[in-house]
């Protein structure tokens, strides 16, 4: 595992975008596993700039996102599909048909989980998976548990995640209570993992990457991945 320390959020974002960008320069048809949230916004901005400058070409890129809330549609501005369109896809030359997010409105959630795992598998899983980390060590929506969930599944969000995510909703009662997420197994299938974390994540970074590997800190499993990079902002 490589841990790269950067001065601040802007530098963290530029370093992460350079790693994602290099991936698509080296393999234009890369499958990118993508994340939402505050952490990757700067990375996406920097990738958009690289596209506008003619450095990055997304025309053959395929994407598969980590997760989606259950019960809100892609048109809802709090959905992760909306986030991806609004923060990256609408501003680069990616074919939206090649971008995938779980369907939070699917009538049969179990069937949707299976479809999404099969889809990721049929794409050969991600060449590079971008990740953020929750204050409790979650990755995707894999919350602390007694075991590492393997495949795509529906999950109950913990109180701390509901509270953390309520900043984007009108009030806490509007935050969906469940989500569909890639499992830890799905994430670990990626050929390369790139986790980014701002300065507010210092304590959990310490626990996850300098402590013991435990499903109580789901991100700690990254210590076992052959090609994991963590980019941290110090301030
Ligand atoms: C988002 C996701 C989450 C976030 C995590 C950190 O798709 O899967 O695990 O990466 O909650 O969120 P931020 O970046 O908002 O602190």
**Mind listing the pLDDT tens digit for each residue in 24-65?**
999 999 999 999 999 999 999 999 999 999 999 999 999 999
Using the structure block, give the residue that is written with the tokens 């990738």.
47
Instruction: Pick the residue whose CA is nearest to atom 4 on ligand 1.
Output: 132
Instruction: Pick the residue whose CA is nearest to atom 1 on ligand 1.
Output: 36
Cα 81 to middle of ligand 1, angstroms = 14
Say if residues 18 and 55 touch (Cβ distance below 8 Å): no
Please report the pLDDT score of residue 160 as a whole number. Answer: 84
Cα 94 to middle of ligand 1, angstroms = 23
Which residues of the chain register pLDDT less than 50?
none
Q: What are the b/e assignments for 57-75, b being 16+ CB within 10 Å?
A: ebeebbbbbbbbbbebebe
Please report the pLDDT score of residue 97 as a whole number. Answer: 98
Say if residues 222 and 1 touch (Cβ distance below 8 Å): yes
C-alpha distance from residue 148 to each of 73, 110, 152, 182, 196 (Å): 28, 18, 12, 11, 21
Please report the pLDDT score of residue 168 as a whole number. Answer: 86
Half-sphere exposure at residue 60, Cβ-oriented, CA atoms within 13 angstroms: 8
> Within 6 Å (CB) of ligand 1, which residues are found?
35-39, 66-67, 132-134, 138-141
**For ligand 1, what atom is nearest to the CA of residue 142?**
9
Instruction: Pick the residue whose CA is nearest to atom 2 on ligand 1.
Output: 140
Catalytic annotation, residues: 67, 136, 138, 143
**For ligand 1, what atom is nearest to the CA of residue 196?**
14
Cα 197 to middle of ligand 1, angstroms = 10
Please report the pLDDT score of residue 165 as a whole number. Answer: 86
Please report the pLDDT score of residue 14 as a whole number. Answer: 98
Please report the pLDDT score of residue 24 as a whole number. Answer: 98
Cα 196 to middle of ligand 1, angstroms = 10
In whole angstroms, give the CA distance from residue 147 to residue 150.
9
Instruction: Ligand 1 pocket test: pick from 12, 13, 35 the residue with the most ligand atoms within 8 Å of its Cβ.
Output: 35
**For ligand 1, what atom is nearest to the CA of residue 80?**
7
Instruction: Pick the residue whose CA is nearest to atom 3 on ligand 1.
Output: 140
């Amino acid at each position: 595992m490589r841990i790269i320390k950067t001065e601040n959020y802007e530098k963290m974002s530029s370093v992460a975008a350079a790693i994602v960008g290099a991936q698509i320069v080296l393999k234009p048809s890369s499958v990118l596993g993508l994340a939402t949230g505050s952490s990757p916004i700067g990375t996406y901005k920097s990738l958009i700039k690289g596209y506008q400058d003619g450095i990055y070409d997304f025309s053959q890129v395929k994407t598969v996102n980590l997760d989606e809330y259950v019960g809100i549609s892609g048109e809802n501005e709090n959905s992760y599909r909306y986030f991806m369109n609004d923060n990256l896809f609408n501003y680069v030359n990616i074919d939206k048909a090649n971008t995938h997010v779980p369907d939070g409105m699917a009538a049969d959630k179990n069937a949707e989980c299976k479809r999404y795992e099969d889809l990721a598998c049929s794409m050969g899983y991600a060449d590079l998976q971008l990740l953020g980390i929750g204050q409790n060590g979650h990755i995707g929506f894999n919350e602390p548990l007694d075991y590492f969930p393997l495949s795509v599944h529906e999950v109950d969000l913990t109180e701390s995640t509901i509270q953390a995510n309520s900043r984007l909703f009108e009030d806490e009662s509007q935050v969906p209570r469940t989500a569909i997420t890639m499992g830890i197994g799905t994430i670990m299938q990626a050929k390369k993992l790139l986790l980014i974390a701002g300065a507010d994540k210092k304590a959990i970074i310490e626990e996850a990457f300098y402590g013991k590997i435990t499903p109580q800190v789901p991100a700690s499993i990254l210590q076992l991945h052959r090609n994991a990079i963590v980019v941290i902002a110090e301030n």
